[in-house]
Structure 1
């Protein structure tokens, strides 16, 4: 900027000097002309329109570096003079922080929400209806299930508040070196809960005094570290907290897994401090060779492809099932993420909508996918899953015939409280009535919602539901 300004000044003064030589000028006139030229140049150079700042909030994730790179390119190249200001919020305080910001009227312009919280934000009118801004061509780039899931949101029959941008899959990752040292077959990781307990205890007993443990189960962020993985991997055994065939809730289906976690913790097979351990801490320990096994989501595993490079030989496998008879009885649940919204309080709705659309673009999603940080939802981007990736371990997290998105459940926000019930059952007695009582509470609420016609049960009741093909014939 300074060089351009200096060049303009020199050129203008040169012209002025030539004029003075031809017609004659006093020194005072020459100095006045110099000052005028300098002022005119500064006015011209400073007359560029100010950047329109759009704040985008997301929870701190392993891909933050690549997010920042993609946003930096957008800020440099977009033609609308938009500047995205990234606000990273710690995962364990994300919803609390967003609630506080929006309640005070200072919510971000654009931000990501867990789908479970979208109805609440729609009710409070904290998010914008984007349907007038979404073109049919843009909407057609999404698979039907993603659009239908968006339509299932409150007041979304004729409105559109958000769409998912990425998918989360779940696998068992394991340290092959620790398996071999403990006398276990590194080519055959455990396929059932009982075998998982057995392998974890063998590894822990073999590594006494070396601070190495059979398994890690981080629970520092309860929803993403504990609830979602538990519900996802139990889909492989054909169970789900909402019974689509009966149109009823049943949280007791997770008793076998809760008992397994309790047994592992009580018998010393688990890396200590799991209640407060964060995913990043667990992944760092796994990369250092101190953990034998973990149930990991694709976003957690992306830490191993970027921040932490494993020092040991490691593998990726399908998660274990309840027992031998349950193996492969259903699909491992795929969770959706990247539900981005535009805040209703934004001062720049047009520009915020541009940023929202960018968050689904090849320039953004493609950047994250290329670095093994995200699995896209958009059909064209998802077709790139067939392309060979540089990280072979990441390919094993890509959706397979063993994985599937599941239909939506009827009481999205009311279901959020189940995480507390799971926690209580984990630390207490898994046979106490809390799981059954919470199931009864949800079913009572569902009956009321159906009777009052706020929920159409036909959208959630599928007598022919097939857990092996959840989104197929229902």
Structure 2
């Protein structure tokens, strides 16, 4: 009951909602193949594709896509394409050819970029007045320049995921709360588990952006620093807050406390190793309970805890991510059909099943008020707490040269002068910021009163 009240409280706090998908304002079906919502009179299917980078819910979505293909009466057939950590690159390449998808999975750190690249089509024309009222605009999260491009499904929290069995074997009674404790704990876990091939810590560094985006980011945000290196007080990039975090990660690797081979490790192989008991700790999103329930059934006892901070003091908020899910491709030749599929995916039945199966914590008030708390191992550790909060959207830029995640990973592998690396990142990112403000109309204004600690606690009961 308390857990149900928690999500009901969450729904009251969230200022946006998602309704059951009702009647849309789609065009009437036609026999024209260019933008039709149905197949031809001869029974030919209208084929569309949905691209996603999510793998934690892949089996669930695959099943629902199959149901849609079998039951829709509009002659629509959806091809599900699940990409890996190369999703953004693959999408870029697809838009240079004739093979771009019709429906795109967008996230809080990609939707703005995809919008600027003109990959997305607004969906306002498909929304009835009721739907427009039930889906409030979320500026820079699903709405840009007064037009809506996506709607929310679930919110994502970030946590430290840890192997309780290995902790017990190492005589450790609680998860780390500081960077030093993280380093020390990883060392103790490795000593206790190495004979069985277990190591204290791991990250999926096949993609440094993915690895640090689920680890360094949340530690920085909890410690009061922007998770992407942007300082909202000064409206400038400043990566200095990442110095102790990257140093700690490097120390874990230098100590031999990190799983060997992380340089080429993708997130699913990492999860598979954790499920087998070969990893003591890692940081990730609230998709993990669903992963260990269905995709990689865990053979260990595990739990989730708040991410550590630099010094044990929470001076910011752990980013509560969400506000978008599916988007319509600007290049789709079958927008009406694509929207019918999106309507289906945004139905109450679908969103309720999504939460109750443990794939995400609903950010839709009507769903969180009625859906059951999923009976999925570990979900309780991911429910919104006093540390979670929504950060403002930072102005993403494309600097010349190496990106921050790659530069930090290079330092972790090879060492060098981290201060010089950070100074170089600050210089290049701010140069890109100035250029985007001057030539692309990007807006970035200082907020001297910005208080990251004030972001936290608004989602907890």
**How would you bin the TM-score normalised by the shorter chain?**
0.7 to 0.9
User: Equivalent residue for 2:76?
Assistant: 82
What does residue range 65-464 of structure 1 map to in structure 2 within 5 Å?
65-89=59-83, 91-142=84-135, 146-151=138-143, 156-185=144-173, 188-240=174-226, 241-324=229-312, 327-336=313-322, 339-384=325-370, 387-412=372-397, 417-427=403-413, 428-429=415-416, 431-451=418-438, 454-458=441-445, 461-464=446-449
- Residue 321 of structure 1 deviates from its aligned partner by 1.0
Report if the CA contact (8 A) 1:143-1:377 is conserved: no
- Residue 230 of structure 1 deviates from its aligned partner by 1.4
Report if the CA contact (8 A) 2:321-2:390 is conserved: yes
**How big is each residue's C-alpha offset from its partner over 1:169-215, in whole Å with a ceiling of 9 and x where there is no partner?**
11112222222222222xx2111111111111112123342211112
What secondary structure sits across from 1:341 in the alignment? strand
- Residue 322 of structure 1 deviates from its aligned partner by 0.6
**How big is each residue's C-alpha offset from its partner over 1:6-33, in whole Å with a ceiling of 9 and x where there is no partner?**
xxxxxxxxxxxxxxxxxxxxxxxxxxxx
Relative to the length of structure 1, the TM-score reads: 0.79
What secondary structure sits across from 1:411 in the alignment? coil
Structure holding more helix per residue:
1
Count, aligned residues: 415
Which of structures 1 and 2 has the larger relative contact order (alpha carbons within 8 angstroms, sep 6+)?
A: 2
Mapped to 2, the partners of 1:56 and 1:99 lie a distance apart of 15
The higher radius of gyration belongs to 1
Distance 1:249-1:284 versus aligned 2 partners, 3 A rule: same
**How big is each residue's C-alpha offset from its partner over 1:266-299, in whole Å with a ceiling of 9 and x where there is no partner?**
0111111111112222222222222222212122
Report if the CA contact (8 A) 2:111-2:141 is conserved: no
- Residue 65 of structure 1 deviates from its aligned partner by 1.0
- Residue 221 of structure 1 deviates from its aligned partner by 2.8
Distance 1:373-1:424 versus aligned 2 partners, 3 A rule: same
- Residue 437 of structure 1 deviates from its aligned partner by 1.8
Give ranges in structure 2 of 5+ residues lacking alignment. 1-39
Mapped to 2, the partners of 1:336 and 1:116 lie a distance apart of 10
Q: What is the root-mean-square deviation of aligned Cα atoms in Å?
A: 2.8
Worse-matched range after superposition: 198-207 or 124-133? 124-133
What secondary structure sits across from 1:269 in the alignment? coil
- Residue 60 of structure 1 deviates from its aligned partner by 5.1
User: Equivalent residue for 1:21?
Assistant: none
Report if the CA contact (8 A) 1:233-1:333 is conserved: no
Mapped to 2, the partners of 1:126 and 1:413 lie a distance apart of 17
Report if the CA contact (8 A) 2:276-2:300 is conserved: yes
What secondary structure sits across from 1:396 in the alignment? helix
